[in-house]
């Protein structure tokens, strides 16, 4: 079996940026990607340096993969389901039985947003329906906006967005209770609350959000939408299998300087490690982790017996 210098689990923004850096060092690297991360759903990121008119997650991933492949990084479409240590290397196994071995591992598995399977919703994501108020609160400024959500989570999102627009409706799709103090704040901000399920998301032919159709009948028209259902999945199970410490909410603990976890030679970057949910931060953490993985691999080479040392950086196979 090939022993890679580095195995990156997750081919989203953090994983791709790390792959580019690792490849530029000349290390042997494999990216195992399930190809269903949240970046695959985003039709347009609006706050990324160099893309003032926005860029889709799919396009960023395509460009990142092409860039990484030019440095020699390999890719495999696979979902890693188990991970263990054997001596000085990590062993990872894919859902279909593929086995991989590496000296260092980066977990860039991200998180998965929870939202209902509403017709018309996905085509609008990142384009005119948003998830993160820090990323896209600006996009709803002075526009009529519907928050599609659940209970306190949706109500909290509506309160945050009220700094951007006074024309807000919160559709409590799951009809979960709202804390009395939060409900009082909604009333004070004149935020309309509709406790009714959504049947469909209304969209134009080119994927522009136009509002929602309620299950009980009737439409609510708007210019923009936000989703806020809570209960997002943090994909940190592999970290748990390897004994890495995690926060109570499932996010992986990492060293602020190196992004290494509490397990030696195991790193984490992107949304799985912090809860900032920003593309630029995912990129930064990916490259930050890769720099320190490189340092670790250099140390491994120095500590290896002379006859076992590679003749070029990262030959390691």
Over the stretch 118-134, which tens digit does the pLDDT of each residue have? 999 999 999 999 999 99
C-alpha–C-alpha distance, residues 174 and 287, integer Å: 40
pLDDT for res 307: 56
Is residue 207 over pLDDT 80? no
Domain spanning 122-228 has what CATH number? 3.50.50.60
85-105 tens-digit pLDDT: 999 999 999 998 999 999 999
The mean per-residue pLDDT over the stretch 125-151 comes to: 96
Tokens read off for 129? 């329906």
Residue 206's pLDDT band (cuts 50, 70, 90): confident
Pick 304 or 57 by higher pLDDT: 57
pLDDT for res 238: 98
- For 231, the 3-state DSSP assignment is coil
Contact 154, 160 (CB under 8 A): no
pLDDT for res 275: 73
Contact 47, 133 (CB under 8 A): no
C-alpha–C-alpha distance, residues 226 and 16, integer Å: 27
Please, what's the b/e burial string for 90-118 (b: 16 or more CB within 10 A of its CB; e: otherwise)? bbbebeeeeebebbbbbbbbbbebebeeb
Is residue 234 over pLDDT 80? yes
Is residue 315 over pLDDT 60? no
Is residue 194 over pLDDT 70? yes
pLDDT for res 316: 38
Give the mean pLDDT of the chain.
93
Q: CATH fold of 3-113+232-303, please?
A: FAD/NAD(P)-binding domain (3.50.50)
Is residue 313 over pLDDT 60? no
pLDDT for res 85: 95
Predicted TM-score (pTM) of the model is 0.91
- Spell out the domain ranges in the chain: 3-113+232-303, 122-228
Name the strand (E) or helix (H) holding 74: strand 74-77
Is residue 224 over pLDDT 80? yes
Listed in sequence order, the DSSP H helices in 137-179 are: 151-161
pLDDT for res 314: 40
Is residue 240 over pLDDT 90? yes
Is residue 309 over pLDDT 80? no
Is residue 311 over pLDDT 50? no
Contact 71, 23 (CB under 8 A): yes
The mean per-residue pLDDT over the stretch 271-300 comes to: 94
Is residue 305 over pLDDT 70? no
Same topology, domains 3-113+232-303 and 122-228? Answer is yes
pLDDT for res 104: 98
Contact 30, 7 (CB under 8 A): yes
The mean per-residue pLDDT over the stretch 283-290 comes to: 97
């Amino acid at each position: 079996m090939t022993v890679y210098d580095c195995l990156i689990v997750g081919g989203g923004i953090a994983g791709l940026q790390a792959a580019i850096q690792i490849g530029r060092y000349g290390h042997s690297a494999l990216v195992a990607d399930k190809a269903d991360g949240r970046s695959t759903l985003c039709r347009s990121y609006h706050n990324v340096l160099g893309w003032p008119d926005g860029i889709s997650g799919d396009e960023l991933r395509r460009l990142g993969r092409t860039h990484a492949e030019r440095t020699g990084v390999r890719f495999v479409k696979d979902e890693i389901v188990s991970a263990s240590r054997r001596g000085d290397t990590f062993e990872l196994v894919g859902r279909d039985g593929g086995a991989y071995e590496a000296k260092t591992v980066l977990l860039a598995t991200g998180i998965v947003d929870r939202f209902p399977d509403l017709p018309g919703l996905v085509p609008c994501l990142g384009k005119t329906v948003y998830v993160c108020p820090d990323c896209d609160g600006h996009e709803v400024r002075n526009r009529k906006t519907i928050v599609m959500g659940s209970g306190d989570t949706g109500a909290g999102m509506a309160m945050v967005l009220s700094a951007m627009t006074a024309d807000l409706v919160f559709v409590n799709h799951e009809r979960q209770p709202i804390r009395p103090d939060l409900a009082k704040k909604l009333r004070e901000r004149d935020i309309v609350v509709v406790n009714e399920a959504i049947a469909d998301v209304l969209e134009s032919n080119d994927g522009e959000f136009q509002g929602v159709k309620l299950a009980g009948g009737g439409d609510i028209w708007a210019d923009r939408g936000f989703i806020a259902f809570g209960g997002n999945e943090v994909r940190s199970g592999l970290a748990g299998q390897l004994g890495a410490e995690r926060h109570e909410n499932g996010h992986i603990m990492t060293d602020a300087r190196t992004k290494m976890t509490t397990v030696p030679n195991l790193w984490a970057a992107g949304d799985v490690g912090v809860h900032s949910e920003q593309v630029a931060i995912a990129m930064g953490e990916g490259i930050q982790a890769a720099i320190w993985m490189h340092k670790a691999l250099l140390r491994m080479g120095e500590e290896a017996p002379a006859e076992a040392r590679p003749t070029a950086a990262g030959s390691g196979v």
